[in-house]
Amino acid sequence: MTAPRLLLAALVATVLAVATISVAALVGDRSAAPRVASSATAAAAPDTEARTPRTGALAVLAAWDQRRSEAWADGDAAALADLYEPGSTAGRRDLAMLRAWRERGLRVTGLRMQVLDAEVIDTADARLVLRVTDRVAAARAVGRGLDATLPADRPTTRQITLVRHAEGWRVADVV
């Protein structure tokens, strides 16, 4: 496998892990039907108190995914790092991939995740453990004369641990 393909595979894996975290953070209804929605669909949901736990969780995920997508599109390592707990392996990997793309003069734009299922496994004060199934639904590699659609990815299920801070949820661990 060539270096660009390995880098792309690593990016897709990291994107999936991070997106999974956001969805699970607010999904509190274990008995609900499977949750299938794209981040773009969730972002369109009105911000009202009548929202269900499912739509609330998807809206949180959409906002987190949007921040991550913007950090990747801007090549902003500091903004990306703010989405992870200090010392997070997933965060280190995501930052390393961002820097590798940036060193090659490339950015990843239009990054969009599709959440297929999310379940809250455990909650404790400011900590959540979630199981999320998602996939990269869209992304483009741009720069140095390149503007290419990156491949969509197969669904992946991960267990994600999130920690809440004053500024929002951060990913601590992805298994």
Mean pLDDT, consecutive 10-residue segments, the chain of 175 residues? 49 42 34 37 42 51 79 96 94 96 96 86 74 91 95 90 81 88
Pairing of strands 146-149, 156-165: unpaired
Q: What is the CATH number assigned to the segment(s) 3-174?
A: 3.10.450
Cα–Cα dist 170/168, whole Å: 7
Cα–Cα dist 98/107, whole Å: 8
Residue 65: predicted pLDDT: 77
pTM for this entry = 0.69
Distance of CA 47 to CAs 89, 130, 154, Å? 33, 23, 30
Q: Do 95 and 103 contact (CB within 8 A), yes or no? A: no
Q: Any idea where the domains of the chain sit in the sequence? A: 3-174
